[in-house]
A and B are shown apart, each in its own frame.
Chain A
Amino acid sequence: MAFEATSDLVDRARTGDRDAWEALYRRAYPRLLAYAMRRLDADGAGDAVSETMARAVANIGRYRPVPGTGAFDGWLFGICRHVVLDAQRASGRRGYGPAPETVSDVDPSEGLVSAEEADAVRRAFALLSDDDRELLELRVVTGLSAEETAAALGRRPGAVRMAQSRALSRLRRLLAEVEGVSA
């Protein structure tokens, strides 16, 4: 099957095209699940992703694309973010789930970074505030652009870039502290 642009799929999805919706679902599913699993348990994360798509279907008429930004993913992650927050409120839990270092038992770097360095980065990342972690996660893990991240967080792209720069500065400082402690 030929790759179809997200914007084309969205246009078809607006008309209730089940294939288009399924394609969008398959594309976004891993990233939505990764985002949700950092805040909810496995079952809750699966439910959250499913609920996210249900809300997207129900509200697709309100989605207005911004030309050149591919903002559908940002819109979708914005929905997912609210769904996760609702689930956290319902369960009386806020913020992140288990710390990343306890979750990760694989080294995805495959030679890009050493295992020790990856572990230090994960521990420093865990010390960041929830807001910083969420922003960096959306940018790094889910691969959203600054514009899409802004759409997901309900902020302006410029503000997202600024916040990202500050978050990275804090991460760098924390990483130095972590490496100093472990050294």
Chain B
Amino acid sequence: MKILVCISKSPDTTSKVAFTDGNTKFDENGVQYIVNPYDEWYALVRALEIKEAGGGQVTIVTVGAATDEAVIRKALAIGADEAVRIDADPKDAYYTATQIAEYAKSNGFDLILTGKETINYNGSQVGGMIAEALDLPFVSLAEKLDVNGSTLTLEREIAGGVQVIEVATPAVVSCAKGMAEQRIPNMRGIMAARTKPLTVVAPVAVEDLTSYVSYTMPNAKSAVKMINPENMDELVELLHNEAKVI
């Protein structure tokens, strides 16, 4: 099975969130980039497990600049076979998805995996857009994925239950928690990653459909009200009469 895993970078989850240029740009000062956790822990690791069980090839693709190659090497160290970087600044989800779909079109993948969402923009858009551009089925937020020949069996959480579904390949799937367990790259993987193929592809011309014009920080929370641990009746009273939540 030929699997394409879409990898994005995201700021390390402990990064301070701040903005510059009159609140129009994310302040990258001192920010460390990591592989977006959903892409790494769930999509990539599950792709590797599928390959280990049934053979095939795992390619990772990123729309990003040359500076993103450190993040790409990390994904290679975890075990992907090869990487593709589409050399462009990912302007919005539509731009990113169109680039990936263009690349995938001529490379015959059986399965395209994305993460549930990027943890910086939380859009949950790119996977569905790739699927539509390629006219393929899309299963969003899958928590389990099994491959049986050309049939995928998936589970996802729907309102009040877990749904089991089947779909034929080729298909696009976005991966959420439960799909796989995080893998820590070992020394051999890290060494091997240095020599794995990383192909740079030129972007196609696409207009972006949306743009972020500015950012704001949420209002600071008012100070916490401390309650005597001996007096839980007071807490219940406050939750009822002041907060009005019970």
- A and B interact: no
Which residues in B have some Cβ–Cβ distance to A below 8 Å? none
Which residues in A have some Cβ–Cβ distance to B below 8 Å? none
